[in-house]
Amino acid sequence: MRKIVLLLIIGTTALLSSCRKDFDTVPSNGGLAFSKQTVYLDTIFTGISSSTYMLKVYNTSNDDISIPAIRLEKGDASKYRLMVDGMTGLDGNGKYFPNVEILAKDSLFIFIETTVDITETEADFTYNDRILFGAGTTEQAVNLVTLIQDAHFIFPNRDLNGVKEVITLAGQTQASDIEGHTLTTPEELTWTNDKPWVVYGFAHVPAGQTLTIQEGTKVHFHDGAGIIVDQNAHIVIDGNPSVYDSEGNLVDDNEVTFEGDRLEPAFAGTPGQWRGVIILSTSGNSIDHLILKNGFYGIQLPGDGAQNYKPQVSITNSQVVNMVNFGILGVHANISAENLLASNIGQAGFAGIEGGDYNLLHCSLNNNWPSTSQLTVLFDNYYEDPNTQVQTDYPLTLSVKNSIIYNSNRVGFVLNLKDGTTVNTNDIAYNFIKFNDSGTGIENDPQYAFIRDEQNGNRKNIDPEFNNPNRNQLYIFTTSAAATAGNTDFITSGSTDYFGTPRATIPGLALGAFNAFEP
């Protein structure tokens, strides 16, 4: 029995001795090391929380140390919030952390966030603070810097019960389940370029109204957000060419931009950050000089072949890039596009399905999305009932001229037609088209004769030598075979390229959205 008691005493003493080391510390002497001396939190919008950033703090000494305090210099008034090794600090507000211990040769993590509101009298500004470690002569500091942008906000209102606003589409007798805000005031229906716009939910343009977006306007969409242009409503995007100096530096940014609201550089080319634009209106929709990127869908026009209901849009001098599903998707729609660039799209850069009218002139369409099923251009002329598998065909008219249709797969242009139907391909002319049909199952399909046999001035499988397709730079040089392959009969006097430069016709007309550049 005495042996058992003795063993218990020895074991308890050893346990206390081993635990005591955690508390046997010396004060920090100012010898901490940091993963960064300044933490730059990327640009955020007023009132919107930043992403979380990390700072690592190292104890380089051979002693276990205690830092008397880790705190924000501006104290409780600071707009920053800290979490130190999982702790939220005194009072749980992330501002002050007393007696923080670090073992010898060990480290701790600090996570940093901020939310800042800009008053109406302030423009964009830089917000600063410091994280202080210790006190007195041994105090150390790490700088915090954030650029805050003021913005216009569109978001669903909440009622007295906290329920978010949902939109009611034309023809509906009750509200949908789509969270969003219906634009009704002149201020909401004209998006100016004085500061960015940030959209939560769907911005709904109701019947009888027009959303006008001025040149140079930048619009940022939150996750799942987008625009819906209702029946008998309109959208007019009035961008203009941007101005560059002789060295290619941007001088005047006049293009309209639609993208996500994550402003960190890591998200600059990340698809799937927001939903897209949906147009239900059949007339009066025009888009000029728009850069639309990083969404799920770019622009959708869902029509109805059975009712011959065709949503409409005219797109000029615009880009749709880095989309998860489709760049432009028309379902029995009426779409015209000139000087359109579409690149890096999960399913297809441009698709017109269930019939419709589609006119593409001088477009640069490329798809290097890493998938064996991605397409560049897709058209079909039927609707298939999901229950009965009965196919109903609808009229499909196509005009595709002076364009480049290329990708990293074998076939860039797909016509998926109901058995026994055909489409007039005479107006698919003078294009470079990727078309390696061997082993694809369409080798003997007569519908593809226009490209297989290089009819109507079309050429197949000639690399246009885009500058950098993986970065969506689809302009070509004068050394490209596409630089002189266009047909001048398809352009009018005063025709310009994407940049607003008159179309060069000597020594020949370039295919695609851009005049050819000198190498």
- Burial (CB < 10 A; 0-12, 13-18, 19+), residue 483, is buried
Q: What is the CA radius of gyration of the chain?
A: 30
Of 135-144, 247-256, 280-289, 410-419, minimum mean pLDDT range? 247-256
Q: What is the pLDDT of residue 24?
A: 82
- What is the per-residue pLDDT across 180-203, written as a single tens digit (0 to 9) for each? 999 999 999 999 999 999 999 999
| Integer Cα distance of 277 and 308 in angstroms | 22
| Integer Cα distance of 156 and 150 in angstroms | 19
Residue 461 has pLDDT above 80, yes or no: yes
CA 125 to chain centre: 25
| Integer Cα distance of 404 and 157 in angstroms | 45
Please say whether the beta carbons of 129 and 39 come within 8 A: no
Q: What is the pLDDT of residue 54?
A: 97
352 vs 13, higher pLDDT: 352
CA 298 to chain centre: 9
Of 3-17, 130-144, 285-299, minimum mean pLDDT range? 3-17
Output the pTM of the full model: 0.87
Pair of tokens at residue 398: 């196509």
Q: Give the model's confidence band at 358: pLDDT under 50 very low, under 70 low, under 90 confident, else very high.
A: very high
Residue 120 has pLDDT above 80, yes or no: no
Q: What is residue 250's three-state secondary structure?
A: strand
- What is the per-residue pLDDT across 35-84, written as a single tens digit (0 to 9) for each? 999 999 988 898 888 999 999 999 999 999 999 999 999 999 999 999 99
Within a 10 A sphere around the Cβ of 421, how many other Cβ atoms? Answer: 14
Q: Give the model's confidence band at 300: pLDDT under 50 very low, under 70 low, under 90 confident, else very high.
A: very high
CA 272 to chain centre: 6
Residue 19 has pLDDT above 70, yes or no: no
Q: Give the model's confidence band at 117: pLDDT under 50 very low, under 70 low, under 90 confident, else very high.
A: confident
Percent with pLDDT over 90 in the chain: 82
Q: What is the pLDDT of residue 248?
A: 78
Residue 109 has pLDDT above 70, yes or no: yes
Q: For all residues of the chain together, what is the average pLDDT?
A: 92
Please name the residue that has the structure tokens 């276990």.
64
- What is the per-residue pLDDT across 80-100, written as a single tens digit (0 to 9) for each? 999 999 999 998 999 999 999
Residue 494 has pLDDT above 80, yes or no: yes
Q: What is the pLDDT of residue 42?
A: 86
Percent with pLDDT over 70 in the chain: 94
- Using left for φ > 0, alpha for ψ between -120 and 50, and beta otherwise, residue 308 falls in left
Q: What is the pLDDT of residue 4?
A: 39
| Integer Cα distance of 300 and 287 in angstroms | 13
- What is the per-residue pLDDT across 329-346, written as a single tens digit (0 to 9) for each? 999 999 999 999 999 999
Give the bridge partners for 333, in sequence order.
356
Pair of tokens at residue 482: 């596409």
